[in-house]
A = this chain, B = another copy of it.
């Protein structure tokens, strides 16, 4: 793990790093020492580790005492381009322009990336928890849309993750992994999501095997999650990881 820059402001330290080929960012409380809860923060499709929503959420969590780490997903952000992925994205755009329901194409895109994404997260989790200021505290995962599509296989495979905030995605391609998830989940659904059919989103919530899962649905489109849900997510992680 190689740190390439470090800045601190408003009580939060932000460090860019690479781990092998994986570019990432770690946020911790300034002067943090000792083990603390860690949140793995997955970004949406076409976004990257420092998308504005990611950064504001990460800084907020770090100010509350958490460590937060984000990485670029395969074929995103500072990662190399990938012809197979570009082809899938082109098909997805063409399908949506033609008025197709994008569920199957989105699921295919996530499935194409998931194997690498899961391996990346597992390596980053191991490396970050070796740092003194992070340590081997309880771990949560937070990701919407593609962050949910890559997070569900990760959580199904990774026993170190003990709670998750997921959502903005349908069940296609994810039912089997969802049925292996038993940790507490807070699941966000946008009632008028133009990318995710309502019944498919409800079916993904339904497919999670967690005894403690809670669905929050709000009016609006894919990108319109109300800001009070950020408070709810932080409270959820505080309840389950502190």
Chain A interface residues (CB < 8 Å from chain B):
189, 191, 202, 205-206, 210-219, 226, 228, 232, 239
Contacts and interface: CB of A to CB of B under 8 A. Distances in A.
Contacts of A215: 189, 191, 215-218
Contact of A211 (B202, B211, B219, B228): B219
Contacts of A232: 232
A202 B218 CA distance: 12
A228 B217 contact: no
B219 A216 contact: no
Given A212-B219, A216-B216, 12 more contacts: A189-B215, A205-B217, A211-B219, A212-B226, A213-B218, A213-B219, A214-B217, A214-B218, A214-B226, A217-B217, A228-B239, A232-B232
22 contacts: A189-B215, A191-B206, A191-B215, A202-B202, A205-B217, A211-B219, A212-B219, A212-B226, A213-B218, A213-B219, A214-B216, A214-B217, A214-B218, A214-B226, A215-B215, A215-B216, A215-B217, A215-B218, A216-B216, A217-B217, A228-B239, A232-B232
A209 to B, nearest CB: 10
**Residue of A189, A205, A214 ringed by the most chain B CB atoms within 10 A:** A214
A206 B215 CA distance: 15
A239 B205 CA distance: 27
